[in-house]
Amino acid sequence: MTHSPLFLKSIFFIFLISISQYSFGQYTTTECQTVTTSLIGPDRNDWSHNNLPIVNEGYLHNFDPPTLPCGINNPGLTSLVINIDLTNITTSGGCTGVPIFGNVLLGCPLTNTAVCPIIQDVLTPGCNTFGGGTTTTGMYSLTLTNCNTISATDIIGVDLIPATDFSGSCPSNGSAITDGSVSISYQICLDYTYDQAVPVSCTNTILLSCDDGDPCTINDMTTVDECDNSIVCLPCVGTLSDCSNVGCQTTLPCDDGDPCTQNDVETLAADGSVCLPCAGVVVDCSNVACQTTLPCDDGNSCTINDMETQAADGSICVPCSGILVDCSNVACQTTLPCDDGNPCTDSDEETLAADGSVCIPCAGILSDCSNVGCQTTLPCDDGCLLYTSPSPRDRG
């Protein structure tokens, strides 16, 4: 598809207008009034009151500063154009051709008694030109800010005054409009251009309370456009609750760094803070590596170096016991019957230490004459002399 040069120029012109209104931070608005909103009353021009015997009647208007969109705050007025579209001028009684003035006033009360200086005449071309006026219909414009310093808060008065005093045949009685000698149809529009644009949505925001539907958040807030609260800039969200909200705590696996615990867990709040630190269940005797041998007292006075073995959870893996003492501990020795293997002893005994070692070997008391089987006959000398006969050899 191809486009004509005229079409492309139109698109480019619209593009430039868009840039001027938004890209460069400007806002333009137009306020209009017609005869139906006018106050028909005496000309407010102080010159007329000072120089004419009877002040002409006119269509009086005041334009208050327009209400600006939300987001435009204390702007500067970069341009103010006054447009007067005279669509019909009807005269009678010799008033044909009387000039009509478009007087501009600044901050003048809209009353039948107000008298103020005019600052421009829209219907007399140019800045600071007065007294010409117009006698014909048409569109008339004046960029007021090119002629005067105007602030954004100024009240602009625009009065259409038929100058009946210019014609000797027109009744100059101060009521030419009321008595129908002059009638004008028109529209007055003021184009205001400010040095601020309507901000993009969410440029200026406010916080509103809301409910994010999450029971584990508090102080839920949503960020909305300051000018249009229906525009959500940031969705509703709250602050995650801390450990004070037990219902929103979560227990998770963890590692407490202790090899002698198992099933380690920690309890976290919704905001991630630790409500219960990471800890596990201390292991029992099944984990030999975590057993500890400690001194103890087994209650037996005949043992030394008593020890017991405990699990990490404190349970007893090996009960308290010591090493039975040897023969050095006389108090713990025990004398017991025994058999020393000698049939000629009675009441055989041996003395044992607590650890079973032999302190006094098994031995008995040698039996007396009552035990015939253990008697022994041995040579002896009873002390008596014994006579013996000589041998035959000795005789000879």
pLDDT digits (tens, 9 = 90+) for 307-334: 999 989 899 999 999 899 899 898 899 9
> Residues 199-223: pLDDT tens digits?
999 999 999 999 999 999 999 999 9
pLDDT score at 331: 86
The strands making up 358-366's β-sheet, listed across from edge to edge, are: 334-337, 345-352, 358-366
Looking up tokens 């002059």, which residue turns up? 182
Instruction: Determine the 3-state secondary structure of 197 from DSSP.
Output: coil
pLDDT score at 13: 38
pLDDT score at 395: 53
Q: Do residues 132 and 123 lie in contact, with contact meaning Cβ atoms separated by under 8 Å?
A: yes
Structure tokens at 279: 């800890």
Nearest to 285 by CA among 319, 336, 240, 323: 319
| 181-to-37, 61, 94 alpha-carbon distances in Å | 20, 20, 8
Residue 121: is it exposed, middle or buried by C-beta count within 10 angstroms (0-12/13-18/19+)? buried
Structure tokens at 34: 């017609």
pLDDT score at 396: 54
Q: Any idea what DSSP says for residue 8?
A: H
Alpha-carbon distance 322 to 301, whole Å? 10
Residue 60: is it exposed, middle or buried by C-beta count within 10 angstroms (0-12/13-18/19+)? buried
- Please report the domains of the chain, with CATH numbers, ordered by start residue: 21-194 (2.60.120), 205-240 (no CATH), 246-282 (no CATH), 288-324 (no CATH), 330-371 (no CATH)
Q: What is the pTM of this model?
A: 0.59
Residue 287 backbone dihedrals phi, psi, to 5 degrees: -100, 95
pLDDT score at 386: 62
Following DSSP, what letter does each residue of 327-394 receive, concatenated?
TT-GGG-EEEE---S-TTEEEEEEEE-TTS-EEEEEEEEEP-TT-GGG--------S-----PPPHHH
Reading the chain (396 residues) residue by residue, the pLDDT tens digits are: 444 444 344 334 333 333 334 445 899 999 999 999 999 999 999 999 999 999 999 999 999 999 999 999 999 999 999 999 999 999 987 899 999 999 999 999 999 999 999 999 999 999 999 999 999 999 999 999 999 999 999 999 999 999 999 888 888 899 999 999 999 999 999 999 999 999 999 999 999 999 999 999 999 999 999 989 999 999 999 999 999 999 999 999 999 999 999 999 999 999 999 999 999 999 899 889 899 999 999 899 899 998 999 989 899 999 999 899 899 898 899 999 999 899 999 888 999 988 899 999 999 899 889 888 898 888 888 888 765 566 666 555
Alpha-carbon 216 to chain mean position: 14
Residue 54: is it exposed, middle or buried by C-beta count within 10 angstroms (0-12/13-18/19+)? middle
* Bridge partners, residue 58, by sequence: 41
